[in-house]
Amino acid sequence: MTLSRPIGINAIAVFFAVATIILLSVGVALILPHSPFEAVWALYPARRTLLTPYRGLLGPGFLALAIVFVAASAGCLLRRRWGWWLAIVIFAANGFGDAVQLATGHVLEGAIGVAVAAAILFYLTRASVQQAFS
């Protein structure tokens, strides 16, 4: 039995929604230091030190990326063809970034990231999944 609405698409949409929340939190934490959004650094404390010096550029960048991710979440939930393309682009870019991690010596992080991105891209390119998007 083939499902007309593959459940994995919902999982990807939820992933994009959660990523949106994190991107918004990090963006606001960078733009407004000492705000309640600083709590986001508890997830990955080392990133605070790494990102803070570039807050003027990265804060707005994270907020812009949040717009892309909320659009991807909506596009996947609504099963729109542009949502499918946006998901493909996001995971391809993520996989490329993880391949760079591999090339720069971060073998475990890069390998896991490439494998996950490849698996999701493989899933998204299945005919049954593509057909779920109009």
Domain membership of residue 120 (yes or no) is yes
Task: Determine the Cα–Cα distance for residues 125 and 64; give it in Å rounded to an integer.
Answer: 27
pLDDT-derived band of residue 129, with 50, 70 and 90 as boundaries? very high
- Domain with 127, as residue range(s), is 7-131
Residue 102 lies in a domain: yes
Task: Report how many domains make up the chain.
Answer: 1
Is pTM, for the whole model, over 0.95? no
Answer yes or no: is pLDDT of 26 > 60: yes
Residue 29: Cβ within 10 Å count: 23
Domain assignment present for residue 74? The answer is: yes
